[in-house]
Chain A
Amino acid sequence: MNPLHSLTIGQAHEGLRTKQFTAEELTRACIDRIEKVDGSINAVVHRNFDRALQEAKKLDSNGSDFKHPLSGIPYLAKDVFCEEGVATTAASNVLRDKEYVPPFDSTTTKRLKKVGAISLGKVNTDEFTMGASTETSCFGVTRCPYDTTRVAGGSSGGSAAAVSADECIFSLGTDTGGSIRQPAGFCGVTGIRPTYGRTSRFGVMSMASSLDTIGPFAKSIEDLAIILEAIAGQDPLDSTTGSVEVPHYREMLTGDVKGMKIGLPKEYFIAGLDSSVEASVREAAKVFESLGAEIVDISLPHTKYGVATYYVITPCEVSSNMARYDGIRYGHTTHHPESLIDYYETVRSEGFGPEVKRRIMIGTYALSAGYYDAYYRQAQKVRTLIQQDFTEAFQTVDVILSPVSPSPAFAVGAHADDPVAMYLEDIFLCTQPMAGIPALSLPCGFAKAKPSSVAPSGAKEDGLHDLPIGLQLMGPQWGEGTILKAAHAFEQTTEWHKRRPSLGEDSQ
């Protein structure tokens, strides 16, 4: 059998159920893997190992039959999911300095706890999820397991890298403007951003409340379906969760895409798109055609305004959401302030990093008197037009297919002095959140790349190594089942998702 930490949920569940191994052995395998390889990728930021082992032992000794597919399955959560008794700091000094330990659970971690999933701790993110590389984290960058001179992507870079490096069986992330899909693409794993309102945001630290979504990372599409079924559904504690019934996603994975109409938006195949990315994505479209799907050329005319719209609406919501970090109820503190106002200003200035400050200030400016109509109101109107693009497209197609990112994982530090260049990394990922539609990322190929500086782990003898390429599938509102079904059919006929980085044998 393969090492326990490398199993999918389906495989691990089968092993637990048939007593081939215990939950403790599975949990221990993941912990050992973290200890062995995390030094070279820096994914895990808070370790919950003692409690994880206790919970696993309890399941074993209680004679659990591991009926639920997630019972006894170890996972890692992004450092923004509040979990009772486990440090949760949003990778920000404003919460790290006096380590915030929540006295309550997010709805998502509570639902997972209830079915017996085992929390191993927290993984890295950009500070308060603001970034596309985890470079804004107070814990430092998470590196791509395929080339440790490159970023794992972001903001859920820790969640993606941890699954890619087999440090856990699955993980949780958040996606506001690409933060699940982009790192999944960079690290060669699967990840889904559900429909806005499909999963509860309660207990997850907010960035932009009208766009934030909660979703899983996993090693297969079937695994995503299993996790989504467990965490989705209406929550009285999040009034933006809809009452739409959660389908049995796994039953929808029939492998049959005959007659499915798949749209190829011309605005996503533009100058600047890496040639190997374009080739892999077009090849993926051919795979779907060979399975009986029909490829249709479509247009999403407002795509080019996605990033600009996103970088007005998001900072506006950020400037409001970040107001709660004032050093009163939790977080960083300072001594001998001159006044309460001085206290707020000092706590926030010392606690927040540059990207958070940038977004707070852009939002404050765009919402201020005299600028509101020109920026915020105009962005909300363009948001309507972007949403209409998708509504019209989904009248003729079932699924939309595109690249996840214009190129594979970039080098650490590549965008250090240029915030706008970093924002443009999400050019294919900013419009779906405006419409609230679901989208997922799955591996569809590899690019040959030169090491970005020193030879990375996993480099081949010719100095070239492989970097994963991600395929994005988008569906209509509440249509996760359709894109999971299409992605599953693709996965059944390709081998890309089975590749793993060669990491660990040569580290720590």
Chain B
Amino acid sequence: MSSLTPDQVRHIAKLARLNLSDSEVARFTTELTGILQYIDMLGEVETKDVVATAQVTGLTNRFRDDVITDPLATPDALLATSPLPIVDHQIETPSAHG
């Protein structure tokens, strides 16, 4: 039976760029363990020679003509949705170096 420890939950949260409070860690440890134990049932299915399905359209590489089309929105309209300061048509983010 799968189960997660609080430390594993903290590690997963870090990978997913989430901060969790101690009470969230406790809650998610129980809930995520419950979900994993439910999905454990997939292990009982015999899938030895079965091919995995990622999508069902039957389509492969779709190409289009290399022509310029009208933009759906202007660059400035797209920048305007940012919550951060706009400087010279660029978004000013917090420093990546701390």
Q: Which residues of A contact B (CB under 8 A)?
A: 84, 98, 100-105, 196-197, 210, 236, 239-240, 242, 302, 304-305, 307-309, 311-312, 319, 323, 326-333, 337-346, 348-349, 352, 354, 357-358, 360-362, 364-365, 368, 374-375, 377-385, 387, 418-420, 423, 434-436, 477
Partner of B45, one of A302, A332, A337: A302
- Convert B53-92 into 0s and 1s, putting 1 for each residue whose CB lies closer than 8 angstroms to a CB of A: 1111111001010000000111001101111100000010
Question: With contacts A196-B57, A340-B96 known, what are 4 further pairs, Cβ within 8 A?
Answer: A326-B17, A365-B32, A381-B51, A382-B45
Residues of chain B within 8 A (CB-CB) of A378 are 42-43, 45, 47
User: A361 CA to B41 CA in the complex, in Å?
Assistant: 19
Known: A346-B19, A358-B31, A364-B16. A380 touches B52 (CB 8 A): yes
Residues of chain B within 8 A (CB-CB) of A383 are 52-53
In angstroms, how far is the closest chain A Cβ from the Cβ of B45? Answer: 5
Partner of B42, one of A349, A357, A379: A379
Residues of chain A within 8 A (CB-CB) of B54 are 210, 380
User: A228 CA to B41 CA in the complex, in Å?
Assistant: 37
In angstroms, how far is the closest chain A Cβ from the Cβ of B68? Answer: 13
In angstroms, how far is the closest chain B Cβ from the Cβ of A391? Answer: 11
Interface size on B, residues (CB 8 A): 55
Residues of chain B within 8 A (CB-CB) of A323 are 17
User: A332 CA to B36 CA in the complex, in Å?
Assistant: 31
Q: Which residues of B contact A (CB under 8 A)?
A: 4, 8-9, 12-13, 15-20, 24, 27-28, 31-32, 34-36, 38-39, 41-43, 45, 47, 50-59, 62, 64, 72-74, 77-78, 80-84, 91, 93-98
In angstroms, how far is the closest chain A Cβ from the Cβ of B28? Answer: 7
B96 touches A308 (CB 8 A): no
A381 touches B35 (CB 8 A): no
A361 touches B81 (CB 8 A): no
A311 touches B94 (CB 8 A): no
User: A361 CA to B25 CA in the complex, in Å?
Assistant: 11
Which of A311, A323, A330, A364: most chain B Cβ within 10 A?
A364
B42 touches A339 (CB 8 A): no
21 A-B pairs (CB sep. < 8 Å): A100-B81, A103-B77, A104-B72, A104-B73, A196-B57, A197-B57, A210-B54, A236-B64, A242-B58, A338-B98, A341-B17, A342-B94, A357-B18, A360-B16, A365-B4, A381-B53, A382-B45, A382-B47, A385-B45, A385-B47, A387-B56
User: A100 CA to B83 CA in the complex, in Å?
Assistant: 10
